[in-house]
């Protein structure tokens, strides 16, 4: 018990420290990648190659004046940033990020809390962050902030269901809601991104909407709502919303890695999946997991500086008219296919099983992407011009 408590405390300190430092560096990475895409230099004055720019920004926010609107609800106004910030960190606690680390006192699982209901825990805590945004909008006593909070709640309701439904297919294939078991099932054969390609597409679109990133950043649309729900915030309270947003990006990227890209599994080898565990395996699998997460974070930044923002009617139409029906239909089709392959044909999950499901996904994707849309569902203004 003492070993378990000590190892848990160490994991909590290390993991959350890495996340906080990573979030700071992620802000720098976004500014540098944005500058690279726009043929600019980006931050390069503070420290070597601008590496100390996040520290300078953090110090500036600590020293700035804290403001409190005269008509704001003081308690909720101060509580809202914390309510947005804390769930963003807690959701990472159940994501396994490497193979177990052997020690003289026993193996240490490389996950802060290996809950048997880890995936359900993420869905539950991941949806709590929107309460902080709604409270921030309401407590500020500002019409722009209130509209931003209302937009955030409507967006979360619209896309949370599609995100949950898209991952039901993963749970059907894995047969378990423990994320360690999901990784282990993928390590045995083929990553789930191939047999569940459309589920991955639905999940990544919903993840962009859930993290309020472009093209889904309607709650803080600068051109319409000044800065949305954090219009009245300043100094560190303002920064906490950004820390929460970037922490949610890290968690969503880690979740996509775990559910669809094998988690810490190193491709084309089974050496890393089987005991005996060693520090070398832990380091290499941690590096592979980090590489995959960084890849998804780059996609987040790439999309932000490439695509324009949706109009609000397009956002709602995509969530309710496209994402939700598509997720429901896909779960029905994939569950039927898994039942036929597993129960009727007696196949177990392996290469043959995965390739059969991948072929089904290709057949479903052809009418979806090349026939179904054609500017009639998602295009919005284009469709109106044609009409």
Given a cut of 70, whether residue 322 has pLDDT beyond it is yes
pLDDT digits (tens, 9 = 90+) for 85-110: 888 888 888 888 888 888 888 888 88
The whole-number pLDDT of residue 328 equals: 92
Q: What is the mean pLDDT of residues 156-166?
A: 86
The whole-number pLDDT of residue 374 equals: 60
Residues 6+ apart with CB under 8 A from 220: 148, 212, 227, 228, 229, 230
Given a cut of 80, whether residue 171 has pLDDT beyond it is yes
Kindly indicate the confidence band of residue 307, based on its pLDDT and cuts at 50, 70 and 90: confident
Encode 72-94: b = buried (16+ Cβ within 10 Å), e = exposed: beeeebebbbebbbbbbbbbbbb
The whole-number pLDDT of residue 237 equals: 82
The whole-number pLDDT of residue 373 equals: 60
Domain extent at residue 224: 2-386
Helix (H, G, I), strand (E, B) or coil at 155: helix
Higher pLDDT, residue 325 or 372: 325
The whole-number pLDDT of residue 371 equals: 62
Q: How many CB atoms lie within 10 A of CB 130?
A: 23
Residue 297's nearest CA partner among 269, 332, 268, 255 is 255
Contact 162, 324 (CB under 8 A): yes
Kindly indicate the confidence band of residue 225, based on its pLDDT and cuts at 50, 70 and 90: low
Higher pLDDT, residue 305 or 293: 293
The whole-number pLDDT of residue 290 equals: 92
Looking at the 3D structure of the chain, how many domains does it have? Answer: 1
The label of the residue with tokens 């995509």 reads: 318
Q: How many CB atoms lie within 10 A of CB 55?
A: 13
pLDDT digits (tens, 9 = 90+) for 28-78: 999 999 899 888 888 888 888 888 988 898 888 888 887 787 787 888 888
Q: What whole-number distance in Å separates Cα of residue 177 and Cα of residue 159?
A: 21
Alpha carbon dihedral 340, 344, 348, 351, in 10-degree steps, equals -60
pLDDT digits (tens, 9 = 90+) for 240-296: 888 888 888 898 899 999 999 988 888 888 887 777 888 888 899 999 999 999 999
Contact 269, 189 (CB under 8 A): no
Side-chain-side CA neighbours of residue 308 (13 Å): 6
Given a cut of 90, whether residue 82 has pLDDT beyond it is no
Token pair for 254: 């880690």
pLDDT digits (tens, 9 = 90+) for 197-207: 999 999 999 88
Q: How many CB atoms lie within 10 A of CB 153?
A: 16
The whole-number pLDDT of residue 230 equals: 75
Alpha helix segments (H runs only) across 261-369: 279-304, 312-317, 324-339, 351-367
Contact 153, 229 (CB under 8 A): no
Pairing state of beta strands 106-108 and 101-103?
A: antiparallel
Mean pLDDT of the chain: 84
């Amino acid at each position: 018990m003492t070993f378990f408590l000590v190892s848990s405390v160490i994991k909590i300190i290390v993991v959350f420290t890495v996340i906080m430092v990573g979030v700071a560096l992620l802000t720098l990475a976004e500014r540098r990648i944005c500058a690279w895409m726009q043929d600019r230099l980006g931050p390069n004055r503070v420290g070597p190659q601008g590496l100390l720019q996040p520290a300078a920004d953090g110090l500036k926010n600590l020293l700035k004046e804290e403001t409190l609107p005269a008509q704001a609800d003081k308690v909720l106004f101060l509580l809202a940033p914390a309510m947005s910030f804390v769930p963003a960190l807690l959701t990472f606690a159940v994501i396994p990020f490497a193979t177990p680390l052997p020690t003289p006192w026993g193996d240490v699982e490389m996950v802060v809390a290996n809950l048997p209901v880890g995936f359900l825990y993420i869905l539950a805590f991941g949806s709590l962050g929107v309460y902080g945004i709604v409270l921030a909008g309401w407590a500020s006593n500002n019409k722009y902030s209130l509209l931003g909070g209302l937009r955030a709640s409507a967006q979360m309701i619209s896309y949370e269901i599609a995100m949950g439904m898209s991952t039901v297919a993963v749970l059907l294939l894995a047969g378990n809601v423990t994320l360690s078991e999901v990784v282990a099932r993928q390590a045995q054969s083929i990553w789930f991104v191939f047999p569940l390609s459309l589920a991955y597409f639905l999940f990544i679109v919903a993840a962009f909407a859930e993290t309020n990133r472009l093209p889904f950043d309607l709650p803080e649309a600068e051109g319409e709502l000044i800065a949305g729900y954090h219009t009245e915030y300043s100094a560190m309270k303002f920064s906490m919303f950004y820390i929460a947003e970037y922490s949610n990006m890290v968690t969503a990227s880690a979740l996509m890695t775990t559910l669809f890209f094998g988690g810490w599994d190193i491709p084309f080898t089974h050496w890393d999946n089987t005991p005996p565990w060693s520090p070398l395996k832990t380091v290499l699998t941690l590096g592979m997991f980090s590489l995959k997460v960084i890849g998804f974070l780059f996609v987040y930044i790439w999309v932000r500086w490439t695509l324009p923002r949706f109009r609000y009617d397009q956002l709602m139409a995509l969530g309710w008219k496209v994402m939700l029906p598509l997720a429901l239909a896909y779960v029905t089709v994939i569950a039927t296919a898994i039942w036929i392959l597993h129960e009727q044909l007696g196949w177990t999950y392996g290469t043959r099983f995965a390739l059969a499901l991948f072929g089904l996904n290709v057949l479903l994707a052809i009418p979806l992407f090349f026939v179904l849309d054609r500017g009639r569902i998602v295009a919005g203004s284009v469709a109106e011009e044609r009409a």
